[in-house]
Amino acid sequence: MPKVTVRIPTPLRSFAAGEKERAIDAPTVGAAIRSLCDVHPGLRRHLFGADDRLRNFVSVFLNDDDIRNHEREATPLTDGDVVAIVPAIAGGAPAARRNRSARSTRTAARPVEPPMGVDELRRYSRHLLLPEVGLAGQRKLRGARVLIVGAGGLGSPAALYLAAAGVGTIGLVDFDAVDASNLQRQVLYATSDVGRPKLAAAAERLEGLNPGVRVVRHEHRLDRSNALEIVKAYDVVMDGTDNFPTRYLVNDASVLTGVPNVYGSIYRFEGQVSVFDARRGPCYRCLYPEPPPPDLVPSCAEAGVLGVLPGVVGILQATEALKILLGVGEPLVGRLLLYDALAMRFRELTLRKDPRCVLCSPHATQKGLIDYPAFCGVPAPGEATERDVPEILPEELRAALASNEPPLLVDVREPEERAISRIAGSVDIPNAEIAEHVDDLTRARSIVLFCRSGSRSADAARTLIELGFSNVRSLKGGINAWVTTVDRSMPVY
């Protein structure tokens, strides 16, 4: 029986007792993953669907090649093989080869580029010394347009370097205000910007860095009604989002408009980078045909992220964008770069176009943009995130806790979060372990679950309701809402 190593990705390690990898004896890839699930049963629902087949949003690589290019689960193993599980995580072509009609219209609409002034020659002298850039390349950059979707952890470093490099037009899509918790990684913003609209602060910073750059503010949510119109006005789109609906939207708009998509995403200490250019390589849907269901993937806000990680990933994205604009080097097309900051290791996986991709294959069935919140199983923007779970407001909880029959209060957050804020009298059961504590919970007359903002506690409540509990509620808005309405002595995070 071949002896192989199965690598377990960070998002799934909490369901595998923290293991990073495991040595397994198995004849095929499918058998190896199934025996991993025998050791860690909590992994099974993340990897296999109800039909007992590998889920669509889980990609599996054998020695850095996708098993979909081989015999999928039946792919045979030999001694020393490495099987890597790569789940989708949320949170982030040389322009000259663009299709001719789009290019010529655009060129015709553009004014003739004026020659470089003395100030510009001085500013970009280190670029001008590079034969790969030179005066011609620098003028290309000045005429280039990059759209950055999300002015957050990935967008910040990317926008700064693209502005410094002299990319003439930088479009930013974001509608948030700067929050104090952004400053740990979103280096576009200063402490004095807290509370200001992100794009106002970003434009000021970028134009201060390089007055030759024009910042176009798209101060609204990118959605199916505006995405094609916005994306097609740019040469490259950079995906700096932190959620699956926008990630699929950016991918689809990129494929439909022919504008290459420089993709980046981050999770705790790990990042992914690739260039999706469907005209000569795979798209994001080729890698992940479907998003994971919302309750299987914690958001970046809940999972935490090392502040410097989006810096590294965002700068890799900026590097790819510059190469595409200049038409130099080898773009990261058909390759997925994985970065593990804790191990300080980069790995590269080979991606191929899915011959059955609904969007970019010759048999594509999807011809336009779709309803992304519905596709990803999340509520539309503005809707409550806590579907079909009874909720309790912070004020009501305070009254209930002071009554003769207080509910059992369960904190489903992680230990690190409890060091930031707590509600007195709560018991600690992390979300991933809730089902193991059913026996303790059945004794309670009523239960209130809470997390940071109400999403994990709604998941936990849903799990308990499925297990037959009828007396469960989730604290609406989580402990952060409790802090802002009941107990202001603790921080919101």
Is the CB of 282 or the CB of 311 nearer to Zn ion?
282
Of residues 139 and 285, the one with the C-beta less far from Zn ion: 285
Coil vs helix vs strand at 483 = helix
To the nearest whole angstrom, how small is the minimum distance from the Cβ of residue 280 to Zn ion? 12
The amino acid occupying position 288 is: Y
| E strands, 252-359, in order | 261-267, 270-276, 335-340, 345-350
**At its nearest, how many Å lie between Zn ion and the CB of residue 352?**
10
* Cβ closest to Zn ion, residue 28 vs residue 265: 265
Closest to Zn ion by CB, 209 vs 370, is 370
With tokens 């004026």, the residue in question is 114
CB-wise, 206 or 286, nearer to Zn ion? 286
Residues forming the site for Zn ion (CB under 5 A): 283, 285-286, 357, 360
Nearest distance in Å: CB 308, Zn ion: 32
Q: Which residue is nearest to Zn ion (CB)?
A: 357
Closest separation between CB of residue 364 and Zn ion, Å?
8
Catalytic-role residue among 357, 360, 376, 451 = 451
| Local structure of residue 404 (DSSP, 8 states) | S
CB of 359 to Zn ion, least distance (A): 5
Which residues touch 250 (CB under 8 Å, ≥6 apart)? 149, 222, 227, 231, 237, 239, 241, 261
Choosing from 300, 357, 360, 376, the catalytic residue is 300
Taking CB atoms within 8 Å and a gap of at least 24, the contacts of 258-263 are: 258/98, 258/99, 258/102, 259/98, 259/147, 259/231, 259/232, 259/234, 259/235, 260/93, 260/236, 260/324, 260/331, 261/236, 261/237, 262/236, 262/237, 262/238, 262/317, 262/320, 262/321, 262/324, 263/239, 263/317
**Shortest spacing between CB 281 and Zn ion, in angstroms:** 9
Which residues contact residue 474 at a Cβ distance below 8 angstroms, ignoring those fewer than 6 apart?
386, 389, 390, 391, 392, 448, 449, 450, 454, 457, 458, 460, 461
Q: Is 486 left (phi over 0), alpha (psi -120 to 50) or beta?
A: alpha
Secondary structure (3-state) at 364: coil
Contacts with 225 (C-beta within 8 Å, 6 or more apart), sequence order: none
451 is known as an active-site residue: yes
Nearer to Zn ion, 262 or 357 (CB): 357
Q: Active-site positions?
A: 300, 451
